Amino acid sequence: MTSTLRRAGGFAAVGTLSLAAPALGAAAAVPFAVIAVLAAFVVDDGPMFELFARPGDHQDGRLNGLAGFTLAATGLALLATAPRLATPPRQAMPTSVFVAAVLILAYGNVGEKAVSEHRDDPFAAAAGFTVVGFLAGTLGQFAVQTLTSASVALPTAAFLAATGALVAALLRSVLFERDDPLVMLSVGLLLWFFTQLVLDIAALDIVLSLAVTVAFGYTAYALGTASVTGMLTGVLLGLLTIVLGGVGWFAVLISFFAIGGLSAKFKYDDKLDRGVAEDNDGARGSGNVLGNAAVALFAVIGFAASSMLAMPESLFLFAFTGSLAAAMSDTLSSEIGGLYDTPRLITTLERVPAGTDGGVTWQGELAGIGGAAVVAVLAFVLLPLGTFGDPLVGAVVVLLGGIGGMTVDSILGATVEGARIGNQAVNFLATLAGALVSAGLAVVIL
């Protein structure tokens, strides 16, 4: 057993103390706070120091990693207990969420290190983290249920654990090990938010959701259309979309990932020769996935929380479809249009070299309109556009949102991209424009 795996096991043992929270009640934060003090100011040598020491701790003479880990656990424990002690009592983080967040990270790290002992494969390591973290988070929630009067339905517990494990694995893949406190706090706060939503999840639904999203994620990774971080991001987005929105929402989302990913591979060698190909052999990373789908994610979460926000569901439905129509339109216009030699700058119509930001071709524009039309047709067939008015008019609204977002992307590319903002930020703003156009037109027309 390597030192890294032993260290992960030690952190997991400390994380297991969270299971004592139901018994400790208001003192749930005390064990973690005590360990944080010992790690930061007392333990500076000996077997315990060697067990928990991360690179850099020897130089500093204190267990910074353990101190940060336990301080984050202390913070979550206080969120789960302190509001209940206020006068009058306030809404606190569920104890099950506190326990799940701690165990997902602690045991997920064990899974990652155990796999890394045998395979030098980023995908396998991420899978080890996610699977073990998911199991630990699920079992932790039920352990709390047996010790308290709280009731946690298995599908809901599995959804929360899967979401937390995917978020933690994604953050761990892009951050450093020393950032584990940030990962734990982020997971805890996110799961707390999801417990505020009215989640009516059937057991079969969560099983199918996990199976379908994982299958699509692995396929994207195996085909080279997504990196490990892109795959994790896509699976997370897919899971949230299918649970919070529904199968129709997921189908629209996955159509963008599938068609967009394959379009990046289309004539890739020709694009590479012309200098317009995507980096990393066309595999989409987390930044690219979020740049194109973050607005859609916010829309589906807003849809699930619409009753809390006192806002009509239709706004979020059209924001979702409009943003994805814009993402599909922009992706196809770039991937197809980049193969032609006659681009013109959208702002001045002067000829520019292929691959110039803001350069458009008529072939690319047609491909972009076709991409937006695909999303509009899928929305017409799979989503309840008719609930909010004429479904055909609703599909046209989605189409116009896609075209509007594609146009905004080109204008931003010609004016501010590169010198002021990057491609991912431009993609985000373009999808936001598509969402606003579709939602705004829906309010006016439907």
**Residue 51 belongs to what domain range?**
4-196
* pLDDT tens digits for range 357-389: 888 888 889 999 999 999 999 999 999 887 777
208: in domain:
no
Query: Is 286 contained in some domain?
Result: yes
266's tokens: 């289309």
Q: Is 188 a domain residue?
A: yes
pLDDT of residue 199: 72
C-alpha Rg value of the chain to the nearest Å:
24
Between the ranges 8-12, 227-231, 350-354, where is the mean pLDDT highest? 8-12
Least confident of 147-151, 342-346, 372-376: 147-151
Residues 171 and 278 both lie in one domain: no
Domain check: are 397 and 310 in the same one? yes
Are residues 20 and 130 both part of a single domain?
yes
Is there a contact between 242 and 213 (Cβ–Cβ < 8 Å)?
A: yes
Residue 221 lies in a domain: no
Is residue 189 domain-shared with residue 252, that is, in the same domain? no
Question: What was the pLDDT predicted at 278?
Answer: 62
Assess whether 166 and 29 both reside in one domain: yes
* 196, 213, 238 - which closes a domain: 196
One-letter amino acid at 380 equals: F
| Count of domains forming the chain | 2
Report the first-to-last Cα separation within the chain, whole angstroms.
64
Decide if 204 is inside a domain.
no
Q: Does residue 201 belong to any structural domain of this protein?
A: no
Q: How far apart are CA 300 and CA 237, in angstroms?
A: 10
Decide if 187 contacts 99 (C-beta within 8 A).
no
The answer to whether residue 271 scores a pLDDT higher than 80 is no
Q: In whole numbers, what is the pLDDT of the chain averaged over residues?
A: 89
Q: Do residues 364 and 338 touch, judged by C-beta distance below 8 A?
A: yes
228 assigned to some structural domain: no
Nearest-angstrom CA–CA distance, 226 and 231: 6
Q: At which of 196, 217, 232 does a domain end?
A: 196
**Beta carbons of 295 and 402 less than 8 angstroms apart:** no
Do the Cβ atoms of 375 and 255 come closer than 8 Å?
A: yes
Mention every residue, 6+ apart, whose C-beta is less than 8 A from residue 154: 142, 203
Are 151 and 259 members of one domain? no
Please give the full DSSP string across 228-260, using - where no structure is assigned.
HHHHHHHHHHHHHHHHHT-HHHHHHHHHHHHHH
Label residue 337 exposed, middle or buried (CB < 10 Å: 0-12, 13-18, 19+): buried
**188 and 251 together in one domain:** no
pTM for the whole thing? 0.88
On whether both 181 and 293 belong to a single domain, the answer is no
The answer to the question of residue 410 being in a domain is: yes
Closest CA to 364 of 396, 411, 330, 398: 330
Question: Residue 392 has what pLDDT?
Answer: 93
